[in-house]
């Protein structure tokens, strides 16, 4: 096998784990999760009491660029500022 096609350590470990999981499943050991079980999961965020409404807002390009440059959460901060100054 050429150096370029040689599997890396991470892939070898993945293949070993996959093989072990298949052996356990065939032997009736381990746990297999079905699609129906996954669909019944209730994880994630709790439902919001008040849902936000999507809107379209036209802004000057330089103003929008400054908001976006302010980092993650800029839309939430902009909405809070608009709410604080609403008539």
Q: What average pLDDT does the segment 19-43 reach?
A: 80
Q: Within a domain: residue 84?
A: yes
Q: Within a domain: residue 9?
A: no
Q: Within a domain: residue 71?
A: yes
pLDDT for 44-70, tens place per residue? 777 788 888 899 999 999 999 999 999
Q: Within a domain: residue 74?
A: yes
Q: Within a domain: residue 73?
A: yes
Q: Within a domain: residue 52?
A: no
Domain count, the chain: 1
The boundaries of the domain holding residue 74 are 58-87
Most confident of 2-6, 48-52, 80-84: 80-84
The string over 7-34, giving b where at least 16 C-beta atoms fall within 10 Å of a residue's C-beta and e elsewhere, is eeeeeeeeeeeeeeeeeeeeeeeeeeee
Q: What average pLDDT does the segment 27-41 reach?
A: 77
Q: Within a domain: residue 25?
A: no
What value does the mean pLDDT of the chain take? 85
Residue 86 pLDDT: 92
14-18, 24-28, 32-36, 54-58: least confident range: 32-36
């Amino acid at each position: 096998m050429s150096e370029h096609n040689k599997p890396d350590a991470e892939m070898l470990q993945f293949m070993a784990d996959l093989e072990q999981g298949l052996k356990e499943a065939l032997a009736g050991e381990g746990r297999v999760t079905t699609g129906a079980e996954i669909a019944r999961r209730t994880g994630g965020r709790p439902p919001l009491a008040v849902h936000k409404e999507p809107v379209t807002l036209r802004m000057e390009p330089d103003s929008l660029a400054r908001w976006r440059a302010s980092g993650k959460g800029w839309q939430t901060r902009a909405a809070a500022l608009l709410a604080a100054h609403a008539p």
